[in-house]
């Protein structure tokens, strides 16, 4: 059996990896695997490089294409597999919806699974049940995300849940050990971004904000084409269903209102 870390490079999986490196979670993993969508913020790639240097086991970076390029290709009408991102939909009758989420499975889950198969020497064909233990960095405050593996050769394990650690506990552990706070990994144009994340991007990473605006404009078109009848309408990156550069990102406080919603969405992809 091999032990691998599913490395999203966020707070939880970074903490879990560093705790394993320090011997606080056993056994020592054989490796960590990071699935790259090709569209993460630069700060995430920098953090990944830093983290790789801290760990005594290898970090494999795997990819199955570039999500941004796929969105550009689709908008230009070029052939290729159409993988949907859960963008916000405004249908022609003004009804609202959300697209199917195929991106996580295609860009994250499957490439990691394929790498595990490769490491087991079984790139094709059946793999004996229980051949790999995969650690996933889910903390107690996200327990709803902990689900059993969908394939028999992988056994999913959640070391942070076993230790009853919250996200705040992870941040505390990192601080006590002198490690920096990891950035939030997710695609630049992920529709799961909270308004706070969009504001940070707009104010602190203007190049990435401009990139998201550019792609947000491009995703408006493809679903109007023949063959996409079930999705007739328009896609938007933000729930307000207006172009990203027109979204109202002011805070409750900016509008002179009391903010009772202190918990922002944590997103769903990289942990």
Using CB under 6 A as the binding rule, whether residue 139 contacts ligand SF4 is answered as no
CB of 40 to ligand SF4, least distance (A): 8
Q: Is 85 in the site for ligand SF4 (CB under 6 A)?
A: yes
Q: Name which of residues 91 to 120 contact ligand SF4 (CB under 6 A).
A: 101, 103-104, 107-108
> Shortest approach of ligand SF4 to residue 120 CB, angstroms?
25
Closest distance of CB 101 from ligand SF4, Å: 6
- Closer CB to ligand SF4, residue 42 or residue 177? 42
Q: Are 11 and 182 in contact (CB under 8 A)?
A: yes
Q: Which is nearer to ligand SF4, 7 or 127 (CB)?
A: 7
SS (H, E, C) the chain: CEEEEECCCCHHHHHHHHHHHCCCCCCCCCEEEEECCCCCCHHHHHHHHHHHHHCCCCEEEECCCCHHHHHHHHHCCCCCCCCCCCCEEECCCCCEEECCCCHHHHHHHHHHHHHHHHHCCCCCCCCCCCCEEEEECCCHHHHHHCCCCCCCCEEEECHHHHCCCCHHHHHHHHHHCCCCCCCCCCCCCCCCCCHHHHHHHHHHCHHHHHHHHHHHHHCCCHHHCCCCHHHCCEEECCCCCCCHHHCCCCCCCCCCCCCCCCCCCCCCCCC
User: x/- string (CB under 6 A) for ligand SF4, residues 28-47?
Assistant: ---------x----------
**Pick 167 or 193: Cβ nearer ligand SF4:** 193
* 209 is a site residue for ligand SF4 (CB under 6 A): no
Q: How far is the CB of 213 from ligand SF4 (least distance, A)?
A: 16
| C-alpha span between 238 and 87 (Å, rounded) | 8
Q: Does 201 bind ligand SF4 (CB under 6 A)?
A: no
Whose Cβ is closer to ligand SF4: residue 65's or residue 243's?
65
Between 120 and 239, CB nearer to ligand SF4: 239
- Is residue 192 part of the contact set for ligand SF4 (CB under 6 A)? yes
Number of residues that bind ligand SF4 (CB under 6 A): 14
Residues that bind ligand SF4 (CB under 6 A): 37, 67, 85, 101, 103-104, 107-108, 186-187, 190, 192, 268-269
């Amino acid at each position: 059996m091999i032990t691998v870390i599913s490395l999203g490079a966020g707070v939880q999986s970074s903490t879990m990896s560093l705790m394993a490196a320090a011997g606080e979670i056993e056994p020592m993993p054989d490796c960590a695997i990071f699935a790259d969508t090709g569209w993460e913020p630069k700060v995430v790639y920098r953090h990944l490089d830093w983290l790789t240097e801290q760990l005594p086991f290898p970090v494999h970076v795997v990819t199955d294409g570039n999500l941004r390029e796929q969105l550009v290709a689709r908008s230009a009408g070029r052939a290729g597999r159409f993988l949907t991102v859960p963008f916000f939909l405004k249908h022609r009758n003004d009804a609202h919806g959300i697209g199917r989420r195929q991106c996580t499975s295609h860009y994250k889950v499957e490439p990691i699974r394929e790498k595990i198969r490769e490491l087991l020497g079984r790139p094709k064909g059946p793999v004996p049940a229980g051949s790999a233990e995969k650690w996933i960095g889910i903390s107690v405050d996200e327990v709803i995300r902990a689900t059993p593996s969908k394939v028999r050769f992988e056994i999913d394990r959640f070391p942070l849940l076993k230790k009853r650690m919250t996200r705040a506990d992870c941040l505390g552990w990192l601080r006590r050990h002198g490690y920096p706070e990891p950035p939030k990994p997710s695609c630049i144009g992920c529709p799961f971004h909270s308004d706070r994340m969009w504001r940070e991007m707009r104010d602190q990473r203007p190049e990435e904000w401009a990139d998201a605006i550019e792609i947000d404009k491009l995703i408006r078109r493809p679903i109007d084409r023949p063959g996409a009848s079930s999705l007739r309408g328009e896609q938007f990156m933000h729930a307000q269903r207006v172009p990203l550069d027109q979204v109202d990102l002011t805070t409750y406080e900016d509008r002179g209102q009391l903010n009772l919603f202190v918990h922002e969405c944590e997103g769903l992809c990289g942990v």
